[in-house]
Structure 1
Amino acid sequence: MDYRVFTPHKLLAPYVRYFSALNFNKLSGLSQIKVFADRYPHLVFQHNNGRSAFFRDTDALPPAFISGVKISPYILDLDNHEVVTVTFYPQAIKQLFGINVNELNDQIVDLINFAPADLLERLYYSKCLAERIDLLTEFLLKKINDAAPPDHLISESIRLINDIDIETSLNSLSKYFKISTRQFERRFKSSTGLSPKLFIRAARFESALQAIRDNQFENLSGLAHYLNFADQSHFIKEFKTFSGLTPKTFLFNNQKTQSVIPDNGVVTINHLVTEC
């Protein structure tokens, strides 16, 4: 299996965290991808000789699709495949495609609903990965010409949530921005697909994944305290909600994740977790 991450075009940087590419062959011994809960939407192009290579509950996924925010973990069955993924920032779906991202939660929508009819064919017949990334870049660059401006209040609130050293909550954020909790929650969910409370929980889950992979803590109780969980049992319950695994299972069964470093230098976790 070959996994690579690519920096987006500079004009796409406010919307796209990164491009990634995964080449998979069953000879590698892998037959599934476990997809953890994920607060970032994606655009995915995948195929196996022109056919879909991803199956969920035996149903083939569209070869090209937009994947909304994932609240619950699930498993994809795989065929030999190549996949190119665009990972967006939370507000980008609303800005570029004009829809509230919460309408796509846990949904996979065929890209044909958002793209020119010939884009998929051009992706199929492209000669190399660089050409496929160029085609997707060209498509998205045209989208930004009519993109809606970001909600700067939401952008700043996401920055605060991502700072693990700052205690954040719905009440603290609404007080910080001097608006009602109800108004703040409505704006936040419309822009990111998640309520502030669920977004904060997902951010803590990502931090837990990275900390476990990096062996930053000698025991789970120390990690739970660092992440501001009430106790270790609450942390384990949250981890299992978002991953389907206990922290110990994730650690000791040699689950493999791909980490990326976005422009702000903060290490986060990619949405694909491979499983033997």
Structure 2
Amino acid sequence: MHYQEIQPSGLLARYIKCYWALTIDPVDAVGEPETVLPDGNLEIVFNLADRFRRFHADGEIELQPRAIVVGQMKRFVRIQPTGKVDLFGVRFHTAGAYHFFKCSLSDLTGKIVELDSILTRHYADLEDRIHSAVATEDRVSIIEKLLLNSLSPPDSNEKVVDAVKAHIAGNDGVVSIHQTARQFGVSQRQLERHFKYMVGVSPKFYSRIIRLQSIIAASEFQTADDLSGLALRFGFYDQPHFVREFGELVGKSPTAFLRDENRMAEAFIGS
């Protein structure tokens, strides 16, 4: 397996977190489905090799398109490679993608859609050019030129959205949205409208995503016996609420997640 991240250049660094590339040989790629969790970021992903399966909650199995936009995720997604893995992606900062897509990002929330279904004329033949490029650096160069050409000017409400995002992240997602809106001088309704347009989800749901990611980071050195303390630390005052919200986003209980993560770590250390 080879994973690489490349930082965006110049002006685009404000909107794009990184470009990334992942390659895995077929013998190592095919196995149990992988669970992808909400992380607050929107991505464009180009599949340069064998396609992925996506497992839907109703039992349907779908072959993913070769070029997709992954909107804000509100729950886990299970995917599985069918052979060789060769991916190239653009990972936007939270609220970065709205500068390039001429729609409210809430239109993409909870969806994985074909790239060409939402692109403007700036992106004509982009998929073919990405596939034809020889190296990751060439793909970065191609997409940076196109992104720069389609960059829209800042929205007048962008500053407050950025400030609230930073506030939520700085508090591990444990915030009162009502108090946060008052703190930053906007009504809760205005803040929700701006967030849905620029981020794709409400500030309350964005807080849930950040809290989930903070819990996962903090649980790395936890055991199942520590879960009550972990729940209290992140603002859950009863265990059922913690288990229910965690399960909705992750697809398993905190205990099962921790057990599986520890099992993976032990296998890695022992290999």
TM-score scaled to structure 2, two decimals? Answer: 0.84
Which amino acid in 1 is paired with 2:86? E
SS of the residue 2:11 aligns to: coil
Partner of 2:243: 236
SS of the residue 1:253 aligns to: helix
2:67 to 64, 69, 93: 64
Which amino acid in 1 is paired with 2:13? A
SS of the residue 1:193 aligns to: coil
SS of the residue 1:133 aligns to: helix
Once the 2 structures are TM-superposed, how far is the Cα of residue 200 of structure 1 from its aligned partner?
A: 0.7
Question: Which blocks of at least 5 consecutive residues in structure 2 are unaligned?
Answer: 55-59, 265-271
Partner of 2:111: 107
Q: Using the alignment, how far apart are the partners of 2:72 and 2:167 within structure 1?
A: 20
Q: Using the alignment, how far apart are the partners of 1:111 and 1:167 within structure 2?
A: 34
| Higher mean C-alpha displacement, 152-161 vs 35-44 | 35-44
Residue 180 to residue 116, structure 1, CA distance change in 2 (3 Å): closer
Would you say how many aligned residue pairs link Structure 1 and Structure 2?
A: 253
Q: Using the alignment, how far apart are the partners of 1:139 and 1:228 within structure 2?
A: 43
Question: Which blocks of at least 5 consecutive residues in structure 1 are unaligned?
Answer: 258-276
Indicate conservation of the 8 Å contact 2:174/2:207, yes or no.
Answer: no
Q: Using the alignment, how far apart are the partners of 2:125 and 2:219 within structure 1?
A: 44
Indicate conservation of the 8 Å contact 1:96/1:148, yes or no.
Answer: no
| Higher mean C-alpha displacement, 226-235 vs 208-217 | 208-217
Once the 2 structures are TM-superposed, how far is the Cα of residue 209 of structure 1 from its aligned partner?
A: 1.2
Partner of 1:268: none
1:246 to 253, 266, 270: 253
Which amino acid in 1 is paired with 2:109? N
Indicate conservation of the 8 Å contact 1:93/1:100, yes or no.
Answer: no
SS of the residue 1:13 aligns to: helix
Residue 249 to residue 2, structure 1, CA distance change in 2 (3 Å): farther
User: After the TM superposition, which residues 1-150 of structure 1 pair with which residues of structure 2 at under 5 Å, given as runs?
Assistant: 1-28=1-28, 30-31=30-31, 32-48=33-49, 53-56=51-54, 57-79=60-82, 80-112=84-116, 113-114=118-119, 115-144=122-151, 146-149=152-155
Partner of 2:267: none
Could you say which structure has the higher helix fraction? 2
Residue 256 to residue 153, structure 1, CA distance change in 2 (3 Å): farther
Once the 2 structures are TM-superposed, how far is the Cα of residue 39 of structure 1 from its aligned partner?
A: 1.9
SS of the residue 2:252 aligns to: coil
Partner of 1:198: 205
Indicate conservation of the 8 Å contact 1:91/1:191, yes or no.
Answer: yes
Q: What do residues 198-225 of structure 1 show as CA deviations (whole Å, max 9, x unaligned)?
A: 1111110010111122549971122112
Q: What do residues 85-116 of structure 1 show as CA deviations (whole Å, max 9, x unaligned)?
A: 21112222222222110000111222223153
Q: Using the alignment, how far apart are the partners of 2:61 and 2:110 within structure 1?
A: 17
Partner of 2:186: 179
Once the 2 structures are TM-superposed, how far is the Cα of residue 33 of structure 1 from its aligned partner?
A: 2.4
Q: Using the alignment, how far apart are the partners of 1:53 and 1:130 within structure 2?
A: 23
Q: Using the alignment, how far apart are the partners of 2:173 and 2:72 within structure 1?
A: 24
Could you say which structure has the higher strand fraction? 1
Indicate conservation of the 8 Å contact 1:212/1:251, yes or no.
Answer: yes
> Which structure has the larger Rg?
2
Q: What do residues 112-149 of structure 1 show as CA deviations (whole Å, max 9, x unaligned)?
A: 231533221111111122212222222222222x3444
Once the 2 structures are TM-superposed, how far is the Cα of residue 69 of structure 1 from its aligned partner?
A: 0.4
Residue 108 to residue 4, structure 1, CA distance change in 2 (3 Å): same
Residue 166 to residue 210, structure 1, CA distance change in 2 (3 Å): closer
Which amino acid in 2 is paired with 1:28? D
| Higher mean C-alpha displacement, 101-110 vs 25-34 | 25-34
Partner of 2:162: 155
Indicate conservation of the 8 Å contact 2:47/2:88, yes or no.
Answer: yes
SS of the residue 2:39 aligns to: coil
Which amino acid in 2 is paired with 1:96? F
Runs of 4+ in structure 1 over 6 Å off: none
